Amino acid sequence: MTRSSGRWRRTALRMLLPVGAGVLLWSRVGTGSPFDPPVRLVASLSSRTLRVIEDGDVVHTYGIAVGRPKYPTPTGSFRTGTIDWSPRWTPPPSDWARNKRPRGPGDPANPMQGVKIYFKPPYYYIHGTNDPGSIGEAASHGCIRMTAEDAIDLARRIERAGGSVPLRIQH
């Protein structure tokens, strides 16, 4: 009896050890939900801010410009996509852009400065702007504008997180 109960204890210990190690590891790195992504973005249209959340903590908050009432920024859940460094600007097929002409990278008249981060193709991005005074305003045609420096910083954060992160845009 002693011998078989010892064998049973060793077997039980071998089976429980990996489970215990997994629970310990999850409790050290978990943020409350095993389904929370390690990095995510939350944009508030009313406060005109974009927050970077890493492992459940807000690690950075950026000021943003959002869409005008006539051209609102879409709300909902998105995922960042392609990151286009030093983008050129092509006027979209919209009435407001009818008389505009394309602008190359670095052109001071290019409304997209530094970087363009897709979130709702083909016409909605997070991007740097040539009008930093618009930050904090409802001034865009639906995109999320940031200073060029902030947009570049955000793009680098997204790249470090794997190149694509969830984005929630709320009122």
Name the residues annotated as catalytic: 127, 143
Which of 84, 49, 52 is closest to 64 using CA atoms?
49
Supply angle C-alpha 88, 91, 97, rounded to 5.
145
Residue with tokens 């954060």: 157
As given in the structure block, the two tokens for residue 158 are 């997204």
CA distance 25 to 30: 8
